[in-house]
Amino acid sequence: MQPATPVTPPATVAGARSSAPDEDTAPARTGEPYEEQGESLRSRRITELEDDVAELRRLSRRGTLDLGLLLLRLSVGAYLAVDGARKLFGWLDGPSLNGFETTLLNTPNRAIGFDEQSAGVVAMGWSVTQLVVGILLIAGFLTPLAGAFGLAVASLDLALGVTVAGGVHLFADQKGSVAVPAALVVLLVTIMLCGPGRYSLDGPRRWARRPSHGSVALVLIGVGIAVLVWMLFNGTNPLASPGNPG
């Protein structure tokens, strides 16, 4: 008869298991090889972050874009401001308010001119808006709103020119040319879609350097204002206008 095999008590087995090192609670490995490995990982991570920063800086470079936008704003703003002052005060052989009101009435053919009761108010609002918009564009302040109102004025000027000429004459040597208001419309839309740039009072704002869809909405609002004013106070279809006689 073989002797009985001794049985290990459960407590002894549990104690043996608890004495085994736990990977989760084991102390971090130390020593020169492991410290060198951690330092290498930190150094590589820092290098990667520096490369990311350098790439972001490269992508944010705008070259001469802001300088070009500054020149564009100054040119368009100066033209609008001076022309508005000519209409208001008669400076530089300008028409003054009375002369501009007569232009809107279009005495050679009253049928395609502005309404007689509203021509004076329209002349005043048109001139003041043009002057203020020009000053704001030069400063680069509230540029999207200034551009929208400037676009409305330029669109009205374009519609009036086409109506009086009896056609769309875009070249400067053509009689009744609308080259200037047409160019202003394009330039103002460009400023609104590109933003005023860094060299402006709006420069610190993010949309000054990277406009979003709101700029497109303001372009539509500017055109909508022009259409509303034209329909309320004139109503002539510019593309079907007979123009002035002669």
pLDDT value at residue 195? 94
Q: How far apart are CA 129 and CA 114, in angstroms?
A: 18
Token pair belonging to 137: 């564009």
Of 125, 129, 179, the residue nearest 151 (C-alpha): 129
Tell me the longest C-alpha to C-alpha distance in the chain. 140
Query: What's the confidence (pLDDT) of residue 7?
Result: 47
Consecutive 10-residue averages of pLDDT for the chain (246 residues) = 48 43 49 64 80 67 88 98 96 95 95 95 97 98 97 98 95 92 97 95 89 94 98 96 89
CB neighbour burial string for 22-61, b if at least 16 within 10 angstroms, e if fewer: eeeeeeeeeeeeeeeeeeeeeeeeeeeeeeeeeeeeeeee
Q: What is the pLDDT of residue 147?
A: 97
The per-residue pLDDT for 19 is 44
Res 49: pLDDT: 81
The whole-number pLDDT of residue 204 equals: 92
pTM of the model: 0.76
Name the nearest CA neighbour of 163 among 150, 181, 148, 147: 181
Tokens 């400037």 belong to residue: 150
* Measured distance CA(66)–CA(77) in Å, rounded: 16
* DSSP H helical ranges for the chain: 10-18, 32-60, 65-89, 96-105, 119-139, 143-165, 179-194, 213-233
Per-residue b/e over 205-235, b at no fewer than 16 CB within 10 Å?
eeebbebeeebeebbebbbebbeebbeebbe
